[in-house]
Amino acid sequence: KAGVTQTPRYLIKTRGQQVTLSCSPISGHRSVSWYQQTPGQGLQFLFEYFSETQRNKGNFPGRFSGRQFSNSRSEMNVSTLELGDSALYLCASSPGPLTGELFFGEGSRLTVL
């Protein structure tokens, strides 16, 4: 069974640009979560989606948005990029809430110049 796939794996943007990151969950998983990982802040929760509905949102500005499609694939978008948005963005999937562990992808490493 294929794991969680995130694309792109690496990308470089400049301040003010926007970026879209994609996540394909494990087949059959309906819940997708996003986390931001930085050396200073650690792992911070961004969003959680289940069956195309946002169930939870972390404490991030409105420049961070996401969505989930009917096939459970998810995207997150960051607009008007700032230097501080440089991070590893991790996507995780699970069959649904309360089913146990999350399965993480390899991440998308964003560098903002």
Query: Rule CB under 8 A: which residues touch another protein?
Result: 4, 31, 33, 35, 42-43, 45, 48, 50, 55-56, 90, 92, 94, 97-98, 100-107
**Of 19 and 25, CB closest to another protein:** 25
Distance CA 68, CA 48 (A): 9
Distance CA 28, CA 57 (A): 23
**Of 24 and 94, CB closest to another protein:** 94
**Of 81 and 90, CB closest to another protein:** 90
Distance CA 80, CA 70 (A): 27
